[in-house]
Amino acid sequence: MSKQLPKFKNEDEERDFWSKADSSEYLDWSNAKPALFPNLKPSTKAISLRLPESLLDALRQLANERDVPYQSLIKIYLQERIEEDFKARHLPSAG
């Protein structure tokens, strides 16, 4: 038998509850199905980044050649490099 879920006053209270609770004590996961949220966009945060002008010029030129905003190209490059580094750290080394 599942435990009864408490009534929450607000999202913060619910978030705090779920950060400590074992959901299997409150929910029956046996019939759970994966959910897809194709229109959900990840949260973003604006940052300030100082770059040498020559690097920024090169980024703008490459972005222009690809017909994308240079900020988008920066995000693409960062994502690709981060994925490469994670893969490299998590693959067994040969030898």
Under a CB-based contact definition with an 8 Å cutoff, are residues 43 and 53 in contact?
no
Q: pLDDT digit string (tens) for 32-76?
A: 998 888 888 888 899 999 999 999 999 999 999 999 999 999 999
Residue 22 lies in a domain: no
In 1-95, alpha helices (H): 11-20, 53-66, 70-90
pTM greater than 0.95 (yes/no): no
Higher-confidence position of 61 and 27: 61
Residue 29 lies in a domain: no
Residue 73 lies in a domain: yes
Residue 81 lies in a domain: yes
Residue 66 lies in a domain: yes
Cα gap 94→91, rounded to integer Å: 9
Number of domains observed in the structure of the chain: 1
Residue 74 lies in a domain: yes
CA atoms within 13 A on the CB side of 90: 6
Would you give the DSSP letter of residue 26? T
Domain that residue 69 falls in: 53-90
